[in-house]
Structure 1
Amino acid sequence: MFSCSDKIEFTKYKSLSNASWEANKNISFEFEISDTISPKNLFINLRNNKDYPYSNLYVITELNFPNGDKIIDTLQYEMADNSGQFLGKGFTDIKENKLFYKEEKVFPVSGKYVFNIRHAMRKNGEVNTIPFLQGVQDVGFSIEKTE
């Protein structure tokens, strides 16, 4: 049996100035992997405030391996329910969202990895990404042991 802190192998947040996520700007996290056998759960952690104007979030992620390989994903997450209430945890205007990125991921190579994430939000009917996504205070990345 693990406590929550025993499961966490890596966690880091980056704060965004003015709670605004700039388009086409990667937020990067570097981490070391030595265990190439045990599966891990990977999470995108996001803190949004009441100024976040959407009920969902689209992101583009890139996981860079020590050997030069990379995995690129376009992902969509629900941020609010049908009534417009944010889904994250928290009693104030700031909500903490723990979003699954990869479940039971086994890292095939030991060494330094880099995880990049950028938002891919755009207004309906428009091609260009929203230049500044308001209401996002912090973006984080975490790795946990599976149970």
Structure 2
Amino acid sequence: MKSRKVFVLFAAISALLFFGGCDTSNIADINHTMPSRNWSYADKVKVMVDITDSNKAYNIYFKLRHTSDYRYSNIFVLLNLKTAQKKRNRRYEFKLAQADGQWNGSGSGNLYSYTFPLLTNFKFPSPGKYELELEQNMRDNPLTEISDVGIKVAVIN
């Protein structure tokens, strides 16, 4: 009888973790691995989203992974938001390291990962298809020691 209670408890916890752990709020989550860890101006990271309800709010994130050999303490990126009719863009700067050289991102071996907010509580102007595009906006081309770049779009429930 005791083993049955343990089994039922284990099954209930497993089901809770399985169903509760699923993040259904993401409508897009892509990562692009940079060839030879070089992010050139031509390597734009793009994702298409289909917005059916313009009353919902969204969070849009910039995801980045770089090596410890990255030369700068910051990064500039451009976010382009395109519809069939028009294009809007905005430049962002993100701080990657402290003044003493300590990286701000979470590290695993030689790689450091970040997730930065681009637009929070953002409402798309109208229903339709939108293309989100990220490009690096530093002076170096290519920007070396960038491993991966991504975009995540999540609906706020």
1:30 is aligned, of 48, 63, 72, to 48
Counterpart check, 1:40 vs 2:58: yes
Find the counterpart in structure 2 of residue 140 from structure 1.
Answer: 150
Deviation at 1:83, TM superposition (A): 1.4
Number of residue-to-residue matches in the alignment: 138
Query: Any runs of at least 4 consecutive aligned residues in structure 1 with deviations exceeding 4 A, and if so which?
Result: none
- Alpha-carbon distance between aligned partners in 1 of 2:64 and 2:48, rounded to the nearest angstrom: 17
- Structure-2 separation of matches of 1:139 and 1:4: 23
Q: Give the match for residue 95 of structure 1.
A: 112
Cα distance in 2 for residues equivalent to 1:31 and 1:16:
22
Distance 1:145 1:114 in 2: 16
Q: Which runs of 5+ in 2 are unaligned?
A: 1-19
Give the deviation of 1:24 after TM superposition. Answer: 4.7
Which residue is 2:4 aligned to? Answer: none
**Partners of 1:20 and 1:134 within 8 A in 2:** yes
Quick one: distance in 2 between partners of 1:89 and 1:103?
22
SS in 1 for 2:106: coil
Of 89, 104, 110, which aligns to 2:121?
A: 104
Distance 1:116 1:9 in 2: 15
When residues 31 and 133 of structure 1 are mapped into structure 2, their CA distance, relative to the original with a 3 A threshold, is: same
- The secondary structure found in structure 2 opposite 1:77 is strand
**Paired residue type of 2:152:** S
Taking the aligned partners of 1:134 and 1:32, their CA distance within structure 2 comes to 33
Supply the distance in 1 between the matched residues of 2:66 and 2:22 (Cα, whole angstroms): 22
Q: Which residue of 2 aligns with 1:81?
A: 98
Residue 21 (structure 1) aligns with? 39
Q: CA RMSD in A?
A: 1.8
> Scaled by the length of structure 1, what TM-score is found?
0.84
Distance 1:8 1:88, change over 3 A: same
State whether structure 2 residue 28 is matched by structure 1 residue 10.
yes
State the shift of 1:29 in Å.
Answer: 1.8
Amino acid at match of 2:130: Y
Q: For structure 1, list consecutive stretches of 5 or more residues without a partner in the other structure.
A: 123-129
**Which residue is 1:53 aligned to?**
71
SS in structure 1 at match of 2:113: strand
CA distance in 2, matches of 1:4, 1:45: 20
For the structure 1 residues 3 and 145, does the alpha-carbon distance in structure 2 shift closer, same or farther, using more than 3 Å as the test? farther
Once residues 41 and 86 of structure 2 are traced to their aligned partners in structure 1, the CA distance between those partners, rounded to angstroms, is 25
Assess if the C-alpha contact under 8 Å between 2:47 and 2:131 holds in 1: yes
Identity value in percent: 22
- Once the two structures are TM-superposed, the CA of residue 17 in structure 1 deviates from its matched residue by 0.5
Q: Is the 2:63–2:114 Cα contact (8 Å) retained in structure 1?
A: yes
